[in-house]
Structure 1
């Protein structure tokens, strides 16, 4: 059973960091209005590919303190961390194939949102579905992808959708028309043609081969660096880190002594400033050189890839030459026993196959296209190296100027403990550079492991496609089993909410819940709609346990479930006072049943609930965070993890 579990959300800026962790079962986030409760779910949604930006006119504290957000998750025991910037390049998502704490040792895969969502779909063992539709006011057709974002509508129910007619984004025609297809993907009810599956299978097999070629280049690079043992690299990096920490502590002690000397000489301050600038330039040069090495590695891998493509192209051309251009004249074959003569078959007529020839020409064209594409990438990377070389040259000239200035100042000034500070800075700088080189080796090792895992995922996809080709037609009895189960579960939950089950079902063509013969979009009562929606979502989750809803990620994000079962009533103790109000639950039994069902679901699925004031008996057990208005909300200065780390 493929399952996505959210581990933690990390909000981060240059001077601020806060981590919000989640239970694997039920997590309740409570608090006052406008304290940032719903923002937690919005940021999860943002990391998982939401197209809109975060509105900083509303989220001012987030704007002030944070510029990026991370989401660590587990999919089938594999840990991934997604990173998305808040203020620039919002159309990109970076994927680290590791936990958040290990991202320094990994190189992220930075992708456009749709491509990042494809990776999540592959990890969940679900194939994207292409939907063909007619363009408006035209006979032309266009293709739309039904993707992870469409399935995610069955996971995250926004507070403005729950208990309303906008359930599953119904008011957005673009989303609404894809909902039935997303439902089919969840339950593997999509009927596709054999040719499309075969094309997809070939694409996957080619991708596996391309990754194997990349792995060859990465392993060759590690051998050249003599860094093939990952365990030794980890040990070396750990020892260097210990040395860096020791020198940091020594430097702090010396600086404190220097301060006690009350040195106020302006020339000394100038010397220290020059030294800091000199070190910054040195570090920048090192960073550019490091970037240059990585690009050179990338070019080497691509050159190996081009060599392989050229060999493949040669084989295709030879096959075309032999089979479709070489003409063997007709021959007369004489029988050695009776001397009778038999006309020989033309070799060209036997071998020539028009479809096969077209296929070979198409493959040849694809290979030529790949060679051209990779060469263009190499050309762009060579231009990047040229630019880096220019930057390094400019910085080296600046470094030389600063070095001359420092030599003059060092003769004229008498800075207390200067030689010790310089010595420690020099040691720390060298240790940091050595550690960065080791980390580069570790990143390559991790990249190799990541690609090995990708090959494993692609092989699983290959097996899945082969099985789909073998069993193309969806059996009616399978569909009956799924909907019978869903109906039974849906009706069971509706009974628990005190509704009868006559004409209560999930429609098999619209794929939406009905009550009393009317759909979830026909009813107007907010309380009834909320019960229908929660029963429907709970039925889908429970079906996953039975092996039906395999395409559902297996989690649920809900915002404010008390909205339509509670009402604001005047406090009877203060008659006539309309400002003094308290929240009363209009139907406490149904409200309590909501929580009981969510707790039951959380035994096998992750549930994250945002609620202002959950009932006391559940609050003490499942509430992980309680936010208050103002400074004690989600962006809480006292919870800043960067200030809690000792220098």
Structure 2
């Protein structure tokens, strides 16, 4: 039947740790408080499936490095790695689960159809996804009714419109009929493509078969050439290489354990070493203190010597003064002219008014200076004596230090060196083993890439076979859109009756843009936002149900953000006043908890039908407040639950170590 997308794990590789959500086939529910990162999980999945951008919120911006999506496309497992800070960088695709990325080389793809001079030969990510899902890669007309209409490339992103509805679009009046007319037309053509009802689809399928057959021949030729090279170079089989990696990992673990044991013995058996080292440290401290004291002593001697010389100089000056006075004798009384008033000035009388030192005062100062000279001489002698004693003590300490170092060296040689030698030997072996492991992993990557050629050949064979079957069916009985719309209307009718809305009549689809109608009213004209939400979910579920029994170009995969929007379950209901009529919501009874519960029960029932038919499907549903009376019934489907207050130990959000 239809192709399938199965998300296994979403991983945000962070700076502190990795953040992950695991998913299962069937129904997956994510719920909890607002602003805890629930919607970002769906946005990240969408981004890793090729969306143009991802709006970072602060916690992810601070904690994340890049994101990876572990996904199964039909029967094949891939890990899609993408830079979340630069959407223009190539997307890396590994042909394995996330845990095995180390063993495989990645193939890189351009994220959009915009060609790059930097990567001129790189393929487009959309083409990879379509090919992996065995979907035809074709072009569709921009204006189907015109013969000269330009053709535009069909993108995987065109299909996502029918696989993912975000919280802004769910229940919106313009979800199925946007203002952009050309986008309306393109959506209608994509809708036809999903049901293999495009006029050009048979010829495109035949061309696709031809392209895939040619690609298969090229890969088979490459496989043969590589096989011969690996065999002649005795490269080693994938099984033997894998065994070697496992054995090397065990040897590395054993060596690390032995190194740890050596470090333990080195610590335990080295008490003598630690005692000698402690004594040596004490000697070093005492020696440093002594050297500093000796340096201070030298500075004191120098300072006191300068002071001593100054005192001697002053004494010499005073002696000269006394000697001059004795030679000159007493000065006779003089009369001088005052420089101010030109009057006579008695110098002897003036002397009485000024402090001019007599001879006995000079002698007193001279004696004081001599005492200071004697004191400084004593200080100089004491400082020199202390310096000599310190020098002797320092010599003793240096001898003690020398003996301690000899003992330490001897102890190191006898006790430590053997341990170090043994440890160095193990460390060297560890380095060699790590190098050997890196070489083995490199070889294993090459072998895995070679093995991947076989998988690609098988995948192309399956794809070609399915395409041929599809062409034959289309040739025998090409589907009419009237039949398609009738089946979808029946699916939608059953869904609305199960939900128990009021008056589930007049259910159909418009014949031009394929928009659902209820009671003869087109979706966008329904005034109740809650009723539009119910109808919109039913529309998407109708596609999923049709994919159970009809050959469709559609992956059985559906993500719905904020299921309870306009149903009285969203706290921010008042912010959607322009999109809904409160009176109409009340009239329709959309806040009835039973209707909300019935939506989940219908989706679970649809998932069970897939399981019974041995087909794969996946629903990922996000909401804020799941009613307590049904949470028990849904607990088995919950894959992530968050609480901004960490109630019951729940994580605060997708980034679970963000500060509260």
Which residues in structure 2 correspond to 1:52-451 (within 5 Å)? 52=53, 54-56=54-56, 59-88=57-86, 90-114=88-112, 115-133=124-142, 142-167=150-175, 170-171=178-179, 175-192=183-200, 199-254=207-262, 418-451=420-453
Secondary structure at 2:524 match in 1: coil
Q: Does 1:546 align with 2:546?
A: no
For 2:597, which of 592, 614, 624 is the aligned residue? 592
Moved more, 23-32 or 217-226: 217-226
Moved more, 178-187 or 150-159: 178-187
Q: Number of aligned residue pairs: give it.
A: 472
Once the two structures are superposed, residues 264-293 of structure 1 have per-residue CA deviations (whole angstroms, 9 ceiling, x without a partner) of x9xxxxxxxxxxxxxxxxxxxxxxxxxxxx
Whole-angstrom CA distance in 2 between matches of 1:586 and 1:233: 61
Contact 2:569 2:624 in 1 (8 A): no
Q: Does 1:19 align with 2:31?
A: no
Give the match for residue 621 of structure 1.
636
Cα displacement (A) at 1:635 = 0.9
Whole-angstrom CA distance in 1 between matches of 2:550 and 2:471: 20
Moved more, 11-20 or 478-487: 478-487
Once the two structures are superposed, residues 534-561 of structure 1 have per-residue CA deviations (whole angstroms, 9 ceiling, x without a partner) of 111111111111124x322112111111
Give the match for residue 634 of structure 1.
654
Cα displacement (A) at 1:464 = 4.7
Whole-angstrom CA distance in 2 between matches of 1:217 and 1:456: 18
| C-alpha distance 200-477 of structure 1, shift in aligned 2 (>3 A) | closer
| C-alpha distance 167-254 of structure 1, shift in aligned 2 (>3 A) | farther
Cα displacement (A) at 1:201 = 3.9
TM-score, normalised on structure 1?
0.66
For 2:622, which of 587, 594, 610 is the aligned residue? 610
Contact 2:31 2:626 in 1 (8 A): yes
Structure 2 gaps, min length 5: 113-123, 278-411, 573-588, 611-616, 646-650
Structure 1 gaps, min length 5: 266-412, 571-583, 640-647
Moved more, 28-37 or 113-122: 113-122
Whole-angstrom CA distance in 1 between matches of 2:135 and 2:90: 22
Whole-angstrom CA distance in 2 between matches of 1:249 and 1:174: 67
Secondary structure at 1:177 match in 2: helix
Cα displacement (A) at 1:41 = 0.5
Whole-angstrom CA distance in 1 between matches of 2:565 and 2:473: 46
| C-alpha distance 174-448 of structure 1, shift in aligned 2 (>3 A) | farther
| C-alpha distance 547-69 of structure 1, shift in aligned 2 (>3 A) | same
Secondary structure at 1:521 match in 2: helix
Whole-angstrom CA distance in 2 between matches of 1:233 and 1:567: 56
Secondary structure at 1:503 match in 2: coil
Cα displacement (A) at 1:242 = 1.0
Which residues in structure 2 correspond to 1:546-585 (within 5 Å)? 546-548=549-551, 550-566=552-568
Secondary structure at 1:602 match in 2: helix
Secondary structure at 2:525 match in 1: coil
Whole-angstrom CA distance in 2 between matches of 1:628 and 1:194: 52
Secondary structure at 1:159 match in 2: coil
Once the two structures are superposed, residues 34-81 of structure 1 have per-residue CA deviations (whole angstroms, 9 ceiling, x without a partner) of 1111111111111100111x333xx12212221111111123332221
Moved more, 36-45 or 597-606: 597-606
| C-alpha distance 133-567 of structure 1, shift in aligned 2 (>3 A) | closer
Contact 1:191 1:472 in 2 (8 A): no
Moved more, 29-38 or 90-99: 90-99
Contact 1:503 1:517 in 2 (8 A): yes
Once the two structures are superposed, residues 138-170 of structure 1 have per-residue CA deviations (whole angstroms, 9 ceiling, x without a partner) of x99643222221111111110001111242583
Contact 1:491 1:504 in 2 (8 A): yes
| C-alpha distance 464-251 of structure 1, shift in aligned 2 (>3 A) | same
Cα displacement (A) at 1:471 = 6.5
Contact 2:81 2:92 in 1 (8 A): yes
Cα displacement (A) at 1:477 = 5.9
Moved more, 501-510 or 252-261: 252-261
Cα displacement (A) at 1:111 = 0.8
Cα displacement (A) at 1:436 = 1.9
| C-alpha distance 64-246 of structure 1, shift in aligned 2 (>3 A) | farther
Q: Does 1:510 align with 2:513?
A: yes
Contact 1:161 1:168 in 2 (8 A): no
| C-alpha distance 200-63 of structure 1, shift in aligned 2 (>3 A) | same
Once the two structures are superposed, residues 475-529 of structure 1 have per-residue CA deviations (whole angstroms, 9 ceiling, x without a partner) of 4665444332211111111223324343311233322211122322232321111
Contact 1:567 1:585 in 2 (8 A): no
Whole-angstrom CA distance in 2 between matches of 1:569 and 1:35: 14
Which structure is larger by alpha-carbon Rg, 1 or 2? 2
| C-alpha distance 485-552 of structure 1, shift in aligned 2 (>3 A) | same
TM-score, normalised on structure 2?
0.65
Whole-angstrom CA distance in 1 between matches of 2:495 and 2:168: 22
Whole-angstrom CA distance in 1 between matches of 2:40 and 2:479: 43
Whole-angstrom CA distance in 2 between matches of 1:213 and 1:68: 36
Once the two structures are superposed, residues 313-358 of structure 1 have per-residue CA deviations (whole angstroms, 9 ceiling, x without a partner) of xxxxxxxxxxxxxxxxxxxxxxxxxxxxxxxxxxxxxxxxxxxxxx
Contact 1:191 1:473 in 2 (8 A): no
